[in-house]
Amino acid sequence: MPNPKLEIINVSMKYHTLSGETEAVHDFSLIVDEGEFISIVGPSGCGKSTILSMISGLLKPSSGKIFLDGMPITGTTSKIGYVFQKDVLFEWRTIEQNVMLGLEIQHQTTPEQKTLVYDMLEKYGLLSFKNYYPRQLSGGMRQRVALIRTLATNPDLLLLDEPFSALDYQTRLAVSDEISTILKQEQKTAVLVTHDISDVIYSS
């Protein structure tokens, strides 16, 4: 049997602050297989972002283990892509410069990689906007740019933290549909967290 893509085993996380201890995650386990799209739904403050931070290696669990492709996660890795609540596009860079950023940081800006990114921009209706700046795009388009920028580096696992929360209801429905279509077409393994069950009806 091949290893699952992601394996979280009995993970807990306690934050220590001056006012005391908060147990943000208690004994959480999850297995995600290659190509699966898993959503975790829960109210604000229940520990969803903490779970993603631990998977991405930004936070070390207080106890328990996390494995990616059977290997323990010991720190941040380019194998994991993270799409945040806000799209964090750089306003002074064009759409093209924004989507190439991840590749630039990882020194992977080869002609082949650039062609793949242009293909995604075309496929997802953004190529004609490549010389625009983020402020000239709608919220849904910006979120698609953020997703393509993350996909450009070809992560094995994609983490999505309420990627639709900044969008109005109508746009949310369209964008959640679009994003799940993109992830299925690109055959990505993904974990999405949200407090809104309607976000996950299309995607998972």
Ligand X SMILES: Nc1ncnc2c1ncn2[C@@H]1O[C@H](COP(=O)(O)OP(=O)(O)OP(=O)(O)O)[C@@H](O)[C@H]1O
Q: Kindly list the residues in this chain that would bind ligand X in the complex (CB under 6 A).
A: 15, 17, 22, 24, 42, 44-50, 195
Contacts of 167 (CB under 8 A, 6+ apart): 139, 140, 143, 175
DSSP-derived secondary structure letter, 109: -
Closer CB to ligand X, 42 or 70, in the complex: 42
Q: Is 113 or 165 the residue whose CB approaches ligand X more closely?
A: 165
Cα gap 26→28, rounded to integer Å: 6
Closest C-alpha to 51, from 143, 41, 196, 149? 41
Closest CB 143 distance from ligand X, rounded Å = 17
Shortest approach of ligand X to residue 75 CB, angstroms?
18
Q: Is 7 helix (H, G, I), strand (E, B) or coil?
A: strand
**Which CB atom, from 34 or from 196, has the smaller least distance to ligand X?**
196
Given a contact cutoff of 8 angstroms between Cβ atoms, the answer to whether 30 and 6 are in contact is yes
Q: State in angstroms the smallest separation of the CB of 179 from ligand X.
A: 18
Closer Cβ to ligand X, 79 or 195, answer by number:
195
Q: What is the dihedral of CA 80, 190, 111, 132, to 10 degrees?
A: -100
The least distance separating ligand X from the CB of residue 50, rounded to whole angstroms, comes to 3
